[in-house]
Structure 1
């Protein structure tokens, strides 16, 4: 078991996280893959689905129940990984959520939407990482990944052609806001994640931990709406994110540690 790379992916039962598991299962390299999901049943269903698709995979896949908003669940999985493997080679902080649409719909107050955005996307990820650092430091090649967003870059806000940067008409309240043009809580929390990554890069540099943010691009997942709706707006195939993350885990972007990666380069800040 020691020769296999042990990888934990949060939010892996669906969306981009599930695509990462699929991509790793299709690799010739062998992994111990921990499929993290808030629901153990859904994590188990994801494991069953990927094993049916890749019955000859060189990897083993394990379901784990983990909610980045729940410190007790984080500690339980830490204890499980420590007992079963004694180390962790890669942590992929993929779990995330978008709450701005719920504010627009009136089901969350502004404070609730902003607090939830930061609690899941930034604070939960910070606690998750801090908890698992001791196991990463037992690896011979520790890797720490944070899944960020193309909407998080300050430089990117200067492009008025993007719907997310469209300037609304004068007056208050802004009545024309939609999920395409209004996700300030989400993009702010992901911008915070970028700085959090830089802090972890600084803190763990002398420990030999390779750290990145991954900006997968606009892909057809259910984040912020339906998968079909995002696809109709030009979203790409979410499977590309899986292969992107696999490339990083398998050493193809080691020259860019400490940066926010896009598939063809480095995302401007």
Structure 2
């Protein structure tokens, strides 16, 4: 049986890299396409994974993908088409959180919101729509969008979470939370629903994956995320691998976490 082709964006670091590691430790064989903006960082990630898993059944291939660039996406498409002819699983992991840059005076409010939605929504949409023809050439296809636990509307009343705390009376308000990021990830959940609708009759199983609050470099400060209670990013890999390997197929079309379905 031919190996499944798995394309992961933003795969040289954070949750993306944990997915690479998890696939390398799987009993299944994969052709893992490790996508990232900087070729040297992608190659470093591949070398590290190969060193850690010398007996892996999977093959790792680098590819340069900057999801903010149409040219980069189109070049990556042509390269994947030429080398593999298909994609069985597309993992839209690349994303970014810029809220801290407003607090630091490095972005204006408009720049913050535009950039946040451009990366997490518009760029993810273009990446997906470009690669759908290759996805439809695959088998047992799955399309994954990495979302956030902060994106749940139902959970936004939970005052035990820092991002939901009510600020004191008066103006200006303290800079609580990550409003641009969580709003964009809430929008990403609807983007997932649109792709679930569009690809349902093609047999593609579509998910939004909420890996939990993890101490990644999201927002530029993994140590701060850890101090705020962020978990080990390593836990995300096996969970997302379980989705790739079909263990959560009954939850297709939903936002899921390791415990079940995340409330809308």
TM-score by length of structure 2 reads 0.98
Once the 2 structures are TM-superposed, how far is the Cα of residue 120 of structure 1 from its aligned partner?
Answer: 0.4
Give 1:169-184 correspondences, 5 Å limit. Answer: 169-174=168-173, 176-177=174-175, 181-184=176-179
Once the 2 structures are TM-superposed, how far is the Cα of residue 70 of structure 1 from its aligned partner?
Answer: 0.3
Once the 2 structures are TM-superposed, how far is the Cα of residue 182 of structure 1 from its aligned partner?
Answer: 2.4
- 2:192 maps to 197
- 2:215 maps to 220
Q: Which residue, out of 227, 230, 237, partners 2:225?
A: 230
* Structure 2: segments with no counterpart, 5+ residues: none
Q: Distance in 2 between matches of 1:57 and 1:161?
A: 42
Q: Give the number of equivalent residue pairs.
A: 264
> Is 1:138 aligned with 2:137?
yes
Once the 2 structures are TM-superposed, how far is the Cα of residue 140 of structure 1 from its aligned partner?
Answer: 1.6
> Is 1:186 aligned with 2:150?
no
* Contact 2:162/2:177 (8 A) holds in 1: no
Once the two structures are superposed, residues 65-107 of structure 1 have per-residue CA deviations (whole angstroms, 9 ceiling, x without a partner) of 1011000000111101111111100000000000110011100
Once the two structures are superposed, residues 220-252 of structure 1 have per-residue CA deviations (whole angstroms, 9 ceiling, x without a partner) of 111124222211221111111111110000010
Q: Distance in 1 between matches of 2:97 and 2:221?
A: 12
Once the two structures are superposed, residues 27-84 of structure 1 have per-residue CA deviations (whole angstroms, 9 ceiling, x without a partner) of 0100000111111111111111111111110000011110110000001111011111
RMSD: 0.9
Q: Distance in 2 between matches of 1:251 and 1:229?
A: 34
Q: Which residue, out of 231, 242, 245, partners 2:240?
A: 245
Q: Distance in 2 between matches of 1:110 and 1:183?
A: 12
Deviating above 2 A after TM superposition, structure 1's stretches of 4 or more consecutive aligned residues are none
Give the match's secondary structure for 1:251: coil
- 2:254 maps to 259
TM-score by length of structure 1 reads 0.97
- 1:27 maps to 26
Q: Distance in 1 between matches of 2:89 and 2:83?
A: 15
Once the 2 structures are TM-superposed, how far is the Cα of residue 115 of structure 1 from its aligned partner?
Answer: 0.6
Q: Distance in 1 between matches of 2:65 and 2:179?
A: 27
Once the two structures are superposed, residues 140-196 of structure 1 have per-residue CA deviations (whole angstroms, 9 ceiling, x without a partner) of 21110000000011111111221000110111111x32xxx3211100110000000
Give 1:39-188 correspondences, 5 Å limit. Answer: 39-174=38-173, 176-177=174-175, 181-188=176-183
Q: Distance in 2 between matches of 1:222 and 1:152?
A: 19
